[in-house]
Structure formats: C-alpha cells, structure tokens
Amino acid sequence: MGMPVTVEIADAFDAKTAIDAVFNYFTYIDDTFSTFKETSEITKINNGLVEKKDFSQDMKTVFELAEKTKQETNGYFNIVNNKGVCDPSGIVKGWAIQHAAQLLCDKGFKNHYVEAGGDIQVFGLPTQVLAQAGKNENHLSWSVGIKNPFNTQEIIKVVYLKNNEGIATSGTYERGAHIYNPKNRKETLAEIMSITVIAKNVYEADRIATAAFAMQRKGIRFIEDLPGFEAYVIDNQGIATMTNGFEKYTIP
C-alpha cells in the first residue's frame, strides 16, 4: 500500500519465522486492498467485476467497519469518493496493523510493536526495558516520537505507550492531499497540519485520526468528547493543542 512496515520483537527467542508471517500478511493485504493494483479485489470491485455477495470475508468486514465509522463520525469518514470509487485505505491500515500484531501474540510473542506508515501498535515492553533487570517494569513503556509537520526530521513530542495501546497520525505533510472532507469535497484541508490520536488499539486510533483530520479544527473537540481517545493537533501556524488527557502519555 505504498508505505514502509517495521516490526520489532523484544522476546528473547528466534522470531524470523514470525516476522516472515507478518510481512506475508501485509503482502496479502496489499494484494487485496490496494487501489493501485489492477488485480486487487478492491480494484475489481470498483471496476464492477465482483458483486457484493461475492466479496471476500475480509472485504465484507472492512466495508462494515467503514460504515460503522461513518455513522460514528457523523459522516466525516467515507471510503467512497465523489466519483463513486471505493478506497478503504483509511480503515485498512490500522485494521491490518492490529491484525499483524495479534498474529505475533498468537505465536507466543508478548513484547513487540508493528508500525506501518507511522501508525503503531505496541504489546508488552521494548527491548531496552527487558534488558534492564531490576527496574520496575510497571513504569516503563514504548516511546514514540511525533514529527514536526514543518520539518519531518524533527521530533517535537515524545509519548509513552503501554497496556497494548495504539497510535496513529493523520495529515497531508508527507503524502500530500490524500484526505478530503466528505461533506464538502471541494474544501482544501489547510487549517491543521497533523493530528495524532492514541487509543486502546491502532485500528481505533487510525480510523478516528482520519475522520478528525477531515473535520479540521473541529476534530480536536470531537476527540475531546470521545471516551477512550486522546489527541495532539498541530495547526497551520505551528500551534499545538491537546486533549485534556493527552499529557499523561508524555510521562514515562
């Protein structure tokens, strides 16, 4: 799907086979959901070659999750563009990362993270923590940097994740204008540069981050009222705003 994937496993036993399984899974996801591949299932659907009754189970699931998200975000998430073409990327990425991380859990790995395109799912503890015997592991977490959208080589905020949480950032500063407002498709989304969302897992964080970015300045207020979610937004003037509970993630 045109993005790098990173996997780190901190458990002290051979992980090569498990990592291969994760990348094989992402290859399957790309082959199924990429709108850039003529042979993918989603391209065949958009070309009218596959009827709804013949969708694969994963495709049915993604379409159902997309509709659920559309309803929960008051229409600010919509996988159908103004030409009637379906692009489920806004929900597939987080969903696939979550499944890949769970695949590692199912294989017995307890400490790992999976990242794709900047969105991350963590489980357990990182390598450096496991190596530091004697420390209280209850207060140690995975550290994740939030990039400056005006200078992507700079980290402007570090957050700490534990309890198998997920984080996702939505914006146009790296991939260009790939997000639109479903309620006003001609609107240029220029009020904010990025919004980072933390949730109980990366699937939840990713779908809400996409919808909140489409809402622009209203997005941070939407997340403020959403139980179980915290967010950090940077506007076009470089001013950062965070939800009331976000600051707890800046303490290791």
**CATH number of residue 143's parent domain:** 3.10.520.10
In which residue are the tokens 């919808």 written? 211
Contact (Cβ atoms closer than 8 angstroms) between residue 96 and residue 121: no
* Angle (deg, nearest 10), helices 16-33 and 89-106: 160
pLDDT at position 174 over 90:
no
**Which pLDDT score is estimated for 222?**
97
pTM here is 0.91
pLDDT at position 116 over 60:
yes
Q: Average pLDDT of 138-165?
A: 89
**Which pLDDT score is estimated for 13?**
82
**Which pLDDT score is estimated for 56?**
98
Write out pLDDT tens, residues 79-98: 998 788 999 999 999 999 99
Domain range spanning residue 187?
Answer: 5-250
| Residue whose C-alpha is closest to residue 23's, from 9, 35, 7, 10 | 7
**Which pLDDT score is estimated for 33?**
97
Q: How many angstroms separate the CA atoms of 246 and 153, rounded?
A: 23
Q: Average pLDDT of 182-203?
A: 86
How many domains are contained in the chain?
Answer: 1
pLDDT at position 57 over 60:
yes
Six-digit token string for 85: 């073409």
**Which pLDDT score is estimated for 9?**
93
**Which pLDDT score is estimated for 171?**
85
Name the percent of the chain lying above pLDDT 70.
Answer: 89
Q: Average pLDDT of 157-169?
A: 93
Class of residue 239 by CB neighbours under 10 A (exposed 0-12, middle 13-18, buried 19+): exposed
Q: How many angstroms separate the CA atoms of 110 and 164, rounded?
A: 10
Listed in sequence order, the residues at least 6 apart from 249 whose beta carbon sits closer than 8 Å to its beta carbon are: 159, 160, 161, 198, 230
**Which pLDDT score is estimated for 127?**
74
Opening angle at CA 13, ends 9 and 15, nearest 5:
50
**Which pLDDT score is estimated for 137?**
53
Q: Average pLDDT of 26-50?
A: 97
* Angle (deg, nearest 10), helices 57-72 and 16-33: 70
Q: Average pLDDT of 127-147?
A: 71
How much is the mean pLDDT over the chain? Answer: 90
Q: How many angstroms separate the CA atoms of 22 and 143, rounded?
A: 22
